[in-house]
Amino acid sequence: MAKTHKTSQPGPPRAPSPPFPSSKRIPTSPRKVFLLLVTAGFFSWAMLYLLPIHLPRLSSPYSSSSQAGSRLLSPTKVGSLDLKHRVVMAPMTRNRASEDGIPSDYTATYYEQRATDGGLQITEGTIIAPEAGGLANVPGIWNAQQVEAWKKVTGKVHEKGGSIVCQLWALGRVADPALVPKVYAPSDIPSSNGSRDLTVMSETDIDRFVEHYRKAAVNAVEAGFDGVEVHTGNGYLLDQFIQNTSNHRTDPYTPHTYLLPLRTLLTIASTLPSTNLGFRISPWSTFQDMLEPDPVRTFGGLVGRVLGDVPGLAWVHVIRPEEGGEDGVESIREIVREKGKGTAFIVAGGYDPESAKQHAENTDDLVAFGRYFISNPDLVRRIENDYPLAEYDPNTFYSQGLEGYIDYPDHGGRV
């Protein structure tokens, strides 16, 4: 609609304004004028002070009226990755890959549903080579078909503005002997539920596995991942080399030399920048017959050695104890602060939104969520808005098929 403009033509003559009544006339004496101005100024100040002033609030995509200022939803940096919040999707085995270790077509949908602009996802454990496997229907990253399948995943995540890193995994003594020619281990010490027929790794075997890790990291870059995390916990191969309960070697690979995880991380760091590299540990886990007498000493020593030998490491990822143990976590965090020179600290282990928010307020950590990310693909949005969480179904954690994988709706009911 065109704007209208007033013309300069005069209108009808304006009627004279009536004079003020004598009782309302403006005072003209200097004293009275001064008193009037003072009174008017006082009332103006009072009105400004007492009446609420509504100004627009600045907000980010990860803040709301109920969550404004929450550190959990504030930006941070992990190595070379600029993140918009500190909610991390933890690595979770889901057993949806083919028998050949190829991620399924709907794996891309699974990660896409849970991706957020400026968020970080860590993939499920991904096998570095056929001889490092031994668990059915888990993905690998040792051949071209697997790399092509992972490209679909990383592409979908990047379309949503997210970052995703690949967790590199070797099973060691807990591998299923029906699925691998040999079950490799640091020493001839079976786990209670594992194979009795173990192949103790020679130094040649160790060299070969280090090369598997290097090649897997190269493939991860080819697949479009933003980095890699080396799985060094939960009783799998690298963890087995670290702990006395599974390693009785007397060569250079004795437990507290940390030689195999150090070689692995250093070799990967020669392939991709250390600012795109991290590792995960579970110092207090008893899973698969693990647990050191002094977890803080053992794993604090590991973290200190790694940070000294691999400068610029992007993150250290720690699984906290199921009960208590915060002092131990703090001890390892302090080592990261002192020696990490910018290394981020990711903590995982049974957090819900409220406990995660409280934890983030008290630390500079990122918080990794596992099971709640399964049943709440829009978990970050739910945390942001205080929406209730959907319950997960453990019966579908490791089942094959779509149920319990990509059929959980978001808060609005969309799948």
Which CATH number characterizes residue 294's domain? 3.20.20.70
Q: Would you place residue 18 in the very low, low, confident or very high pLDDT band (cuts 50, 70, 90)?
A: very low
> Has residue 33 been placed in a domain?
no
What integer best gives the mean pLDDT of the chain?
87
Q: What is the dihedral of CA 201, 204, 208, 213, to 10 degrees?
A: 60
**41 within a domain of the structure (yes/no):** no
Q: What is the pLDDT of residue 326?
A: 82
Q: pTM, whole model, 2 decimals?
A: 0.84
Q: Does residue 2 register a pLDDT over 60?
A: no
Query: And the tokens for 202?
Result: 């020679």
What was the pLDDT predicted at 31? Answer: 45
User: Which domain covers residue 270, as residue numbers?
Assistant: 71-369
Task: Determine the pLDDT at residue 322.
Answer: 82
44-58, 106-120, 206-220, 262-276: least confident range: 44-58
Q: How confident is the model at residue 412 (pLDDT cuts 50, 70, 90)?
A: confident
The span from the CA of 67 to the CA of 371, in Å, is 22
Amino acid 44: pLDDT: 39
Q: Please, are residues 204 and 162 in contact by the beta-carbon 8 Å criterion?
A: no
Enzyme catalytic residues: 236
In a domain, 402, yes or no: no
- Is residue 344 a part of any domain in this protein? yes
Confidence tier at 167 by pLDDT (50, 70, 90) = very high
Report the SS3 class of residue 200: strand
Residue 377 inside a domain? The answer is no
> For residue 150, is pLDDT > 50?
yes
Please report how many Cα atoms fall inside a 13 Å half-sphere around the Cα of residue 132, on the Cβ side: 27
Q: How many domains does one find in the chain?
A: 1
The fraction of the chain above a pLDDT of 70, given in percent, is 83
pLDDT of residue 411: 93
**Are 280 and 233 within 8 A, CB to CB?**
yes
> Residue 325 corresponds to which amino acid?
G
Q: Answer whether residue 25 is part of any domain.
A: no
Domain presence at residue 411: no
DSSP character at residue 298: H
Average pLDDT over every residue of 273-281:
99
* Rounded Cα distance, 362 and 354, in Å: 13
pLDDT (0 to 100) of residue 325: 72
Say which DSSP state 140 is in.
B
The predicted structure's pLDDT at residue 335? 98
Report yes or no on 310 lying in a domain: yes
